[in-house]
Structure 1
Amino acid sequence: MGVGKYENGLENNLAGYAFISPFIFGFVIFTAFPIVASLYLSFTDYDLFTAPAWAGLENYSNMFTTDAKYWKSVKVTFLYVFIGVPLRLAFALMIAMLLNTASKAIGLYRTIYYLPSIIGGSVAVSIMWRNLYGDEGVINNALNAIGLDSVRWFAEPLAALWMLITLSVWQFGSSMLIFLAGLKNIPGALYEAANVDGAGPVRRFFSITLPMLTPIILFNTIMQTIAAFMTFIPAYIISKGEGGPLDGTLLYSLYLFRQGFVFFDMGYASAMAWVLLIIVAVLTAVLFLTSRLWVHYESKEG
């Protein structure tokens, strides 16, 4: 009996492994192996056409000491992340609160507002955004209509960066849906009690809505920060792959791409990728460590 149970258990385990083998195979070949390979390549001089030559810490040394463009890409990326992510989350929360109402067409509204997140990172939208901000585009025409001068979006570095930031803010749909789910979970009794006490909309927002949403804010902040650091397509299309003007849109991922597939320095690009991983990991850890100061969770009884 014991041997039979053992054999049946072994057969069940083998069947389970057989079912998950495609995932395991794909993970090892397309994820685990490239990660290990990129770590090795980051210590080599590799141009994609010849065998990698061991270079030790040379790539990291050049990155931190001699490559001015690298530090420019870091600065541009940090500006993009630390300005764009808060604006994106604030806009998403505002729209979520507007959609948190009882209406027969609310499902349609939510779908319409979510669409930018589905198509926002596409090549077509990036091209559309480039045309909107052209010298004779809709944005400059709107500025002229209200008596303001046109902005040279593709000639001024800061203006070009703001063009990317507005595109990232426009892609607020995923964060909005998560905020909306969080708003639905706030007990209505809290608002009823606040109304009885005479609290106005602003007081209810800062005393009830915002504290109850802090776990959702933490989650959205982490996810959107990671996504912002990996932004590539909009910067590539809008700047035509150059990161201009004057490296004003040279995001980290774009510069990494140029090093690996334009200058064929895959060893240097791999080193940049690992530094980016460390930067994102540190920022994520900081968010988690500081969350105990501002994130409020519901108390558990018993």
Structure 2
Amino acid sequence: MKKLFLVIMALSLLLVTGCGKESLSSQEQGSGYTVVDARGKKITFASAPKRIVCLNYSATDILTDLIPTERIIATDMWAREEDLSNCYEKLKGIPVCENNPEQIMKFNPDLVILTEGRANELADTLDSVGVKTCVLRQPKTIQEIPDYIKIVGEVADTKAAADSLAEKVAAYIKASAGGQKIESVLLIHPNGGIGQKGSMPASICEACNIENLAAKYDFPQSSYLSKEQIIAMNPQRIIVLDWSFGGQHKNAEIRKEEILNDPSYQTVSAVQTGKVVIVPMKYMHCSSQYVMKNLEELKRIMRTTL
């Protein structure tokens, strides 16, 4: 039944978005364009997509500054999380779409944007029923953000605007290097300590001249530092990252108070001096042009509160 449903939805999609000789003819005349996604897959467009389902919140951040929001017909739930998304206020009235093919195809998209990793299987399923799907690789450093903006612009056929925005971000990154050093800082995610080498939080800390203690330890990207490891590091400053994960995590204020009042944390320098501050997750996990605004705000918080 599931396979039959996908086939029926695929046929409906073709009727809405168009296919066949007309599209092929446009490509042959040179009016279309082709992009290559993170899978190495070539995706050819006869014209710019007008019905985009974007299930990649950082790409949504970028798209809202490059194209009219009317071209974005659905996003994932993370684009609506205030502590994670930078553009959530621009998305009012746009539906949320789940990461499953049946839900996606109900929107009759002419493009679906996904994040590399867990979504690869979903991308293959959508490809198999004729839905144009582009998988994007997330930047791991802020230096990779300008190229990421360019890729999103190419996919949405807004290359000139994307190139201009990317140049602005690259210039900011180059000019903002250095500044007052903030020593002995540990980032605490709802699941534990983060900031490992090769991660975006580590890159952002480096850009803000924050001594990120977690970067001194070699641990997998998908894991977290335990309470015992955090205590052993004895940070002078703690950043509590605020993100509810769709309501699954405790409020950051509650988590901060738990750290300050936890008997096992009382030997930690940051707890003894009260240098524990809450920062939105998006300040440490930003892969869009908003990195310029977020880094400035992060620097301000660090200067004035820690």
TM-score range, shorter chain: under 0.3
What is the TM-score normalised by the length of structure 2?
Answer: 0.25
As a proportion of its length, which structure holds more strand? Answer: 2
As a proportion of its length, which structure holds more helix? Answer: 1
Q: Which has the higher relative contact order, 1 or 2, with Cα contacts under 8 A spaced 6 or more apart?
A: 1
What is the TM-score normalised by the length of structure 1?
Answer: 0.26
Query: Computing the radius of gyration over CA atoms, which structure comes out larger, 1 or 2?
Result: 1
